[in-house]
Amino acid sequence: MEANQDMVDGYLDGFEDHRKEFPESLSNRGRSYRHGWLNGLADRLHRPRWRNLAEAELAADLAMKEDQLP
């Protein structure tokens, strides 16, 4: 999986945010950003989203592919 800056930015924002769910105000962001934000939230709350690394990588790949669709 190659790095995606939107996903990294989303992760950092989700990790630093105080909210406990993805804010509606960010709904205009891409799937990669949302994926990263939710992972940052999960890490901040110590609640893993994925059972294993393969599952996490698949979800990240799908998010990046969805962002590339017209």
d(CA 61, CA 18): 27
Whether residue 13 contacts residue 40, with contact meaning beta carbons closer than 8 Å, is answered with: yes
Please tell me whether the overall predicted TM-score, pTM, comes out greater than 0.75 for this model.
yes
15-53: pLDDT as tens digits = 999 999 999 999 999 999 999 999 999 999 999 999 999
Token pair listed for 22: 């993805």
When divided into structural domains, the chain yields a total of 1
Domain range enclosing 47: 5-68
d(CA 65, CA 17): 26
d(CA 14, CA 36): 7
Please say if the pLDDT value at position 11 is more than 90.
yes
d(CA 63, CA 44): 21
